[in-house]
Amino acid sequence: MTKLFATRLALAATMMLVTPAISAQQDDAAPPAPKPGKPINTGDVLSGELNAMKVRDVKNAGKRVAMYQITSEPRRLPAPNGLCNLETGPETFQLVTSSDAQATQLKSFVGKEISVKVDEVACASDPGQMSEAVITKWSLVKKQ
Instruction: Judge contact between 62 and 68, C-beta under 8 A.
Output: no
Contact of 123 with 100, CB cutoff 8 Å: no
Tell me the percentage of the chain whose pLDDT exceeds 90.
22
Please say if the pLDDT value at position 48 is more than 80: yes
Confidence of residue 6 (pLDDT cuts 50, 70, 90): low
* 43 pLDDT higher than 80: yes
The pTM of this model reads: 0.68
Q: Which helix (H) or strand (E) holds 94?
A: strand 92-95
Rounded Cα gap, residues 125 and 118, in angstroms: 18
Topology adopted by domain 38-141: OB fold (Dihydrolipoamide Acetyltransferase, E2P) (2.40.50)
Strand stretches in 12-62, DSSP E: 38-39, 45-57
Concatenated DSSP letters for 37-50?
PEE--TT-EEEEEE
> What are the CA-CA distances from residue 132 to residues 70, 118, 123 (Å)?
11, 15, 6
Q: Under a CB-based contact definition with an 8 Å cutoff, are residues 119 and 43 in contact?
A: yes
Residue 131 vs residue 68, higher pLDDT: 68
Which run of H or E residues covers position 31? none
